[in-house]
Structures are given as structure tokens and as C-alpha cells.
Amino acid sequence: MRSSVTLKGQAYITGAYEHPARKAPDKSCALLHAEVAAGALRDAGLDRRDVDGYFCAGDAPGLGPLSLCDYLGLRVRHVDSTDTGGSAPLLHVAHAAQAIAAGKCRVALITLAGVPRSQPGVHAYGVRSSANAPEAEFEQPYGLTNPAAYALAARRHMHEFGTTAEQLAWIKVSASHHARHNPNAMLRNLVTVEEVLASPLVADPLRKLDCCVVSDGGGALVVVAPEVMRELRRPAVRVRGAGEAPKGILGGEVDLTYTGAAWSGRAAFEEAGVKPADIDYASIYDSFTITVLLQLEDLGFCAKGHGGRFAAGGNLIAGQGRLPVNTDGGGLCNNHPSNRGGITKAIEAVRQLRGEAHPAVQVKDCRLALASGIGGNLATRHGAATLILERE
């Protein structure tokens, strides 16, 4: 039996902050967590003494919430360290809303940070070893890399539906159109389809410009109860619906043409009581161009197999296309802190709903936004998370 509990009206995102650094060799991971936490609380008009719930994932150093609550000087009554890779911060928003609705906390702080660009030897997914994972003996000896795994998904989609490299390239082109307006973006130059196709091959059919950036930095969000929101002088961004779903190889039923967003998106839309056609803006996880294409289909923005056609021709460009996507430049051009891009997806959605995005990419009268995350590996196992956010 499904629960009748809904997140609608139970919690609000009132603070959002993205660290401006893309390379921070002089900062530790813990210090970056502290700086983004301070930025989000400042944006919300709150103080660390107001925080009574803290959320982080595997990018947090040490013992996660135990180490960081101590380091940040937080005295909280609720913690959550659910880890689904890059999608974890979006799950944390939903879990924070649930905790607030249950009376476990009133002010929840979510942080993500890392230094994989300055310290590439430090594993971006924390110190947890995967050597004893149940799948390790069946996969690790064969050396499957992340780019190769995502390339498998891309090649399968091409085989099944006739998707082309040119259509994938349009996703990068769209991101570059947005990134040129973001002074903090790593890659601000406008690129063409031809330039994407001419970039070095990484794993067939994915090329260098099909892959996200590697950056230091991070971000933070503050989620609060309605009574706290009423006391603050910030635009109200309501958590209207959420969904989460892990996807594995299902005992050998391997289908690389869809992601867990097919489940998490359906749950989020059902809870929010809206349809894909109602969404004004979408932040869609873009570790690779194929990641975006699959989610466009799985979230219902187009039919299965039509993602390439939907993304082509600038249809994802703000002010030009049907669905503005990743107006900060996304992971493909702007920022992918700690190799986990979920936090920036929520942050840009909040900017759009507040009307605080760059004027060149601000969606007019943006009322409903979606943020979608994928963490892990498309070809093996990953976690999907979807948020529906609303300007009140």
C-alpha cells in the first residue's frame, strides 16, 4: 500500500550557494564544506546555531556527519549520510523534507565538496573501499571505466533507436551556450557540433567534449520548515515532489537504454501532481551527454528513443528551445565538484525559480523546475533522484 504522506508544502529551500572555485589547491575538503555551508546559511539569513539537521554523503571526509558536525560547530538532532553518488544531494533534499515533516528537525543543512582536480589521488567518493563489494570479483578484473560504461549505454541507444553522435553533440553545444554567461564556468567558449565531433575519442562513441569537467569546489542547500520560512525574507521555493530509485543489472536483465530516472521521475511527478509539460526549467545530470539524453526520455519530456531528436537543433537552449536545461552550463561546461554534480542541479533550479539566474538565460516567469540526478554507473548500478520545485 502506498503512503498518503506528501511533501507538498512540508518544506522549503531557503538557502543555496555554489562555491566559485573550480581549482582550490590551498583548501582542504573540510574547509570547502565549511565555506559552502557558511554561504548557504548566509543566503538563507540563518546562522549555524539555527541548524538542527545535517546531511552529507561519501564526499565528506572522515566519519561523514560525525566529523563535519564537529568541524562545522553544529549541534544537531538529526543526521543523514545516505550515499548514492552524484544524486545524493537531491535525495538529501527529499529526506530533509521528510525529516522536517516528521518533526525531526526544522533547519536542515546539506553540503557537498571535494578537490579531485587539485588532489586527483584523493578518491572523490570518499574512503570507502569497493574491494569487498559483492560485484567486485565479477567486474574489477576487467577494468571497466566510467567513460567506457557510459559509452556502452550510448552505443546501445544508437543501435536501438538510430541516435547519432551529432544529436549527442547538441547537448554539449547547448551547455556551452549557457556557460558563456557564467563567469565561474570552467569552459566558457561556445562550441559547435563539428568541434564536439572533432574532439579526441575517449570511449567510442563518446569524445572528450561529451564528458563533464573535473573540478574542485562544492555547494550547499538549506531546507526549512514552513514556520521558519515565514520568518525569513527570501523567495519561497517549495519542495513539491520527490522520487528516488536505485537501478542495478537486475540479475542479468541488462537494458542500457533507460535509467533509474524512469522510476524516480514518475514518483516525483505523481507526488507533485504535475506533468512533464508543466515544467518551465530542468536541471538534468550531465556527467556525459548520453546521461542527459536518457533522462530526457525517462522523465517523460519525450518518448523513448526520441531523446536525440529532442535535444538537437538547440531545443535545450534558454530563450530558443522548448525546454531550457542546465542554464549554468552544467557539468559539461560549468562545474562538477567532487565528481558529484547533484548539488549544482538543485542550486541552479533554485536560482531560476527565484529569478536570480543570469538575465541571458533566466526563464521568464519560471514557476516549476525539475532537478534530476544520476549517481554511480549507467552500465552497472546507479541511483536516480528527482525533485519537483515550485516558486510560491
3: in domain: no
CATH code, domain with 147? 3.40.47.10
In angstroms, the CA 344 to CA 66 distance is 24
pLDDT at 1: 40
| Digit-coded pLDDT (tens) for 140-179 | 888 889 999 999 999 999 999 999 999 999 999 999 999 9
Domain containing residue 80: 12-122+216-235
Q: Do 350 and 383 reside in the same domain of the chain?
A: yes
- pLDDT at res. 5: 58
Residues 220 and 293 in one domain: no
Residue 192 lies inside a defined structural domain of this protein:
yes
Check: CB of residue 333 under 8 Å from CB of residue 179: yes
Same domain, 199 and 97: no
Residues 159 and 83 in one domain: no
Q: What is the mean pLDDT of each run of 10 residues along the chain (392 residues)?
A: 63 98 96 98 98 97 96 98 96 98 98 93 53 83 91 98 98 98 98 98 98 97 97 94 95 93 98 98 98 98 98 97 98 95 97 98 98 95 97 93
Q: DSSP of 297-331, one letter per residue?
A: HHTTSS-TT-HHHHHGGGTTSTTTSSS-B-TT-HH
Q: Do 280 and 320 fall within a single domain?
A: yes
SS (H, E, C) 7-30: CCCCCEEEEEEECCCCCCCCCCHH
131 within domain boundaries: no
**Do 76 and 161 fall within a single domain?**
no
pLDDT at 346: 98
> 168, 178, 174: which is closest to 199 by C-alpha?
168
Reduce the DSSP state of residue 211 to 3 states and report it: strand
- 42 and 55 belong to one structural domain: yes
Is 40 inside any structural domain?
A: yes
Q: Are residues 229 and 197 in the same domain?
A: no
Residue 175 lies in a domain: yes
Instruction: Report the alpha-carbon angle 82-292-349, nearest 5.
Output: 65
The tally of domains found in the chain comes to 2
Rounded CA separation 137/149 (Å): 17
Identify the three-state secondary structure at position 373.
strand
pLDDT one-digit tens code per residue, 200-227: 999 999 999 999 999 999 999 999 999 9
The reply to whether 129 falls in a domain is no
Q: Answer yes or no: do 60 and 178 share one domain.
A: no
The answer to whether position 36 is within a domain reads yes
Both 249 and 385 in one domain: the answer is yes
The C-alpha angle 238, 281, 341, rounded to 5 degrees, equals 80
What pLDDT score was predicted for residue 122?
62
Considering the domain boundaries, does residue 109 fall inside one? Answer: yes
Separation of alpha carbons 177 and 43, rounded Å: 27
My answer on whether 280 and 345 are in the same domain is yes
Q: Are residues 314 and 167 in the same domain?
A: yes
